[in-house]
């Protein structure tokens, strides 16, 4: 395997790029689809970043053997149920799941739910059984692509490159890059996505655009349509902030066209995120977007391991803790793999205070904000120094990553650390590395076919706009080019519409019922007057966010927040 020169981008994004390593340089792989020889800004930044080379214990450099001895000693000192295993998604690949299998056997508390896509995935699973995207060729067949709550040209640059000449409709409170390149932008109010979906359903029926064949096949659409027409049309217009004129324009654009719907994470970052997503998916089904003979499907963050058998056993006897509710202070030992909870987890102040009172072990490829609170830092091998397979949650193509460099002497791969711990604690059940890699490389799961579709027939949402005071703002977040979560070029500004009265350079304090933080203001008309915007990775944003879980998926709800602004 190491004789090959293919490498896969390890970053947490939809595209799962593949490149080649030649003469000490990394180049795009023209033979890999959909990378097609191109490398995005984040992959290039990943190559250029400074990697950890030496373990650190109590702020002093030590050897890898010494670090492993400290790790084992600490694991033997604590009761397993007083330890926590916390894994991020900053370094993707099937082999990255190996360590979780050790900590499950050891008896640590594990997390459940997601900081990312959990609510939306739960909603889609409720409607159609599995969270699986259509084949990528279906997206290429679309005449019109509806981009709902996703900055598609930024978060999926390779997929976007394949379809950039299509007609786009964007639904998003923020005028994103893709919105500026769209035929129509519906700038709805935050957390009114489900109401817009119901309004669009009403208009689809009035214009005779519903897919009667699909609806009849699954026999659950009548209750959904009753839900859609249970309110006056004008009440939807008032709630969403989207004019009926724009709704008519929406249907003018899609009529007699092949349509795809690309859903982002923004739609489900709320308490009722699962049902909000389910409502949008039900509208898509009513319109026939799931019918492959007529349209081109609905795309979300797909289950990349659908159809594969899990190669690592992570079953545990302990009850798991919701990832959004983790209180690090409750654990004597916290093991963090490839995560940066100080920036990425809800309620930063609570996270920092919790880490200060625990023995924290961090395993990763570079220094991040969380390392400041780590007692022991163990450097992981870079993606160039280990074999792996990268499955995509954007499309069905995989990327192979081969070891093209020898690991540094004081670093260790996730799998080798897992094997070391299995051997040390005399655990069994860990498969050989080559066996696991060969399985993922050679096996090709069957395509998913609809066996059910359950239209949503009831939804209760606590409206942010009904609780919002006149002087309050909706808290929104978005992805930005040359930045990925808390990595690379971080933008710590707060973005406001100039009509709010604030000016570039103003220092303001944002406060919510969960906390407060200071920001420097930048103004832009891309943000609605009733919103504030922070880009992903902003180091102050999560001082404002709730550490409770959503309604049904054990996941975070970052945008379930109203904020006040005071000039500092």
84 contacts: CB under 8 Å, gap ≥ 6: 108, 109, 110, 111, 321, 326, 328, 330, 331, 333, 334, 335, 358
Compute CA 529 distance to the chain's CA centroid, rounded to the nearest angstrom: 27
In whole angstroms, give the CA distance from residue 474 to residue 528: 9
- In the structure, what pLDDT confidence band is assigned to residue 120 with cuts at 50, 70 and 90? very high
Query: Order of strands, edge to edge, in the sheet holding 25-28?
Result: 6-8, 18-22, 25-28
Which of residues 471 and 45 earns the better pLDDT score? 471
- In the structure, what pLDDT confidence band is assigned to residue 47 with cuts at 50, 70 and 90? confident
In whole angstroms, give the CA distance from residue 299 to residue 263: 6
pLDDT at 431 over 70: yes
In whole angstroms, give the CA distance from residue 6 to residue 402: 6
pLDDT at 3 over 60: no
| 267-324 pLDDT, tens digit each | 999 999 999 999 999 999 999 999 999 999 999 999 999 999 999 999 988 889 999 9
| 343-375 pLDDT, tens digit each | 999 999 999 999 999 999 999 998 999 999 999
What's the pLDDT at 29?
A: 86
Highest mean pLDDT among 7-21, 132-146, 443-457: 132-146
What's the pLDDT at 41?
A: 73
Name the DSSP letter for residue 95.
Answer: G
- In the structure, what pLDDT confidence band is assigned to residue 386 with cuts at 50, 70 and 90? very high
For the chain, the farthest-separated pair of C-alpha atoms sits apart, in whole angstroms, at 71
170 in helix, strand or coil? strand
Strand residue runs (E) in 269-391? 298-299, 321-322, 333-337, 359-364, 376-379, 388-391
CA distances from 427 to 103, 422, 431, 491, 533 (A): 11, 5, 12, 45, 48
CA distances from 385 to 3, 10, 81 (A): 13, 12, 33
Q: State the average pLDDT over residues 402-415.
A: 94
Q: Could you give the percent of the chain with pLDDT greater than 70? A: 98
- Please classify residue 547 by burial: count the beta carbons closer than 10 Å to its beta carbon, then call 0-12 exposed, 13-18 middle and 19+ buried: buried
| DSSP H or E segment with residue 8 | strand 6-8
> Which residue intervals of 82-168 are DSSP H helices?
98-106, 118-128, 136-140, 152-155, 157-163
**pTM, whole model, 2 decimals?**
0.94
| 458-499 pLDDT, tens digit each | 999 998 888 888 899 999 998 877 655 555 578 999 999 999
Number of H helices, E strands in the chain: 19, 26
In whole angstroms, give the CA distance from residue 41 to residue 45: 6
pLDDT at 567 over 50: yes
442 in helix, strand or coil? helix
- 346 with 558: CB under 8 angstroms? yes
What's the pLDDT at 485?
A: 56
């Amino acid at each position: 395997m190491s004789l090959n020169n293919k490498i896969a981008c390890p970053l947490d994004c939809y595209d799962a790029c593949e490149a080649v390593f030649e003469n000490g340089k990394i180049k795009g792989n023209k033979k890999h689809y959909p990378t097609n020889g191109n490398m995005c800004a984040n992959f290039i930044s990943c190559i250029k970043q400074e990697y950890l080379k030496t373990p650190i214990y109590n702020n002093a450099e030590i050897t890898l053997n010494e670090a492993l001895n400290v790790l084992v000693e600490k694991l033997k000192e604590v009761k397993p149920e007083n330890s926590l295993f916390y894994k991020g998604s900053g370094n993707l690949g099937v082999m990255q799941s190996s360590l979780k299998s050790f900590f499950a056997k050891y008896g640590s508390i594990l997390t459940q739910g997601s900081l990312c896509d959990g609510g939306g995935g739960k909603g889609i699973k409720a409607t159609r059984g599995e969270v699986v995207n259509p084949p990528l060729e279906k997206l290429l067949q679309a005449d019109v692509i509806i981009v709902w709550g996703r900055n598609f040209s930024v978060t999926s640059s390779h997929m976007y490159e394949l379809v950039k000449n299509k007609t786009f409709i964007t639904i998003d409170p923020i005028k994103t890059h893709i919105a500026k390149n769209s035929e129509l932008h519906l700038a709805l109010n935050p957390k009114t996505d489900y109401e817009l979906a119901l309004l669009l359903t009403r208009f689809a029926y009035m214009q005779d655009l519903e897919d009667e064949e699909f609806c009849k096949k699954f026999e659950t659409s009548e209750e959904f349509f009753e839900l859609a027409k249970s309110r006056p049309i004008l009440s939807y217009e008032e709630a969403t902030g989207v004019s009926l004129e724009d709704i008519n324009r929406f249907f003018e654009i899609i009529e007699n066209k092949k349509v795809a719907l690309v859903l982002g994470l923004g739609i489900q970052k709320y308490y009722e995120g699962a049902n909000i997503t389910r409502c949008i998916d039900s509208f898509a089904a009513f319109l026939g977007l799931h019918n492959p003979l007529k349209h081109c499907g609905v795309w979300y963050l797909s289950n990349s391991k659908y159809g594969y058998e899990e190669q690592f056993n992570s079953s545990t006897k302990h009850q798991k803790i919701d990832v959004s509710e983790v209180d690090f202070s409750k654990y004597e030992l916290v093991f963090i793999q490839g995560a940066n909870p100080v920036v990425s987890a809800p309620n930063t102040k609570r996270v920092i205070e919790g880490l200060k009172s625990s023995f924290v072990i961090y395993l990763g490829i570079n220094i991040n904000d969380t390392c400041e609170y780590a007692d022991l830092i163990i450097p992981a091998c870079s993606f160039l120094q280990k074999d792996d397979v990268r499955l995509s949650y954007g499309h069905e193509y995989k990327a192979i990553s081969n070891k093209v460099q020898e690991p540094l002497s004081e670093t260790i791969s996730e799998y080798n650390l897992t094997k070391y711990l299995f051997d040390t604690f005399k655990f069994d059940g860990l498969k050989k590395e080559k066996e696991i890699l060969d399985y993922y490389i050679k096996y090709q799961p069957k395509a998913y076919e609809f066996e059910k579709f359950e239209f949503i027939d009831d939804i209760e949402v606590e409206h942010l706009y009904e609780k919002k005071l006149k002087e309050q703002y909706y808290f929104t977040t978005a992805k930005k080019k040359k930045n990925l979560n808390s990595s690379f070029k971080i933008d710590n500004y707060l973005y406001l519409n100039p009509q709010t009265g604030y000016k570039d350079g103003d220092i303001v304090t944002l406060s919510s019922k969960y906390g407060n933080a200071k920001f420097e203001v930048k103004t832009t008309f891309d943000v609605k007057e009733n919103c504030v915007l922070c880009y992903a990775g902003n180091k102050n944003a999560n001082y404002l966010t709730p550490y409770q879980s959503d309604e049904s998926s054990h996941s975070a709800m970052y945008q379930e927040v109203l904020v006040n602004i005071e000039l500092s």
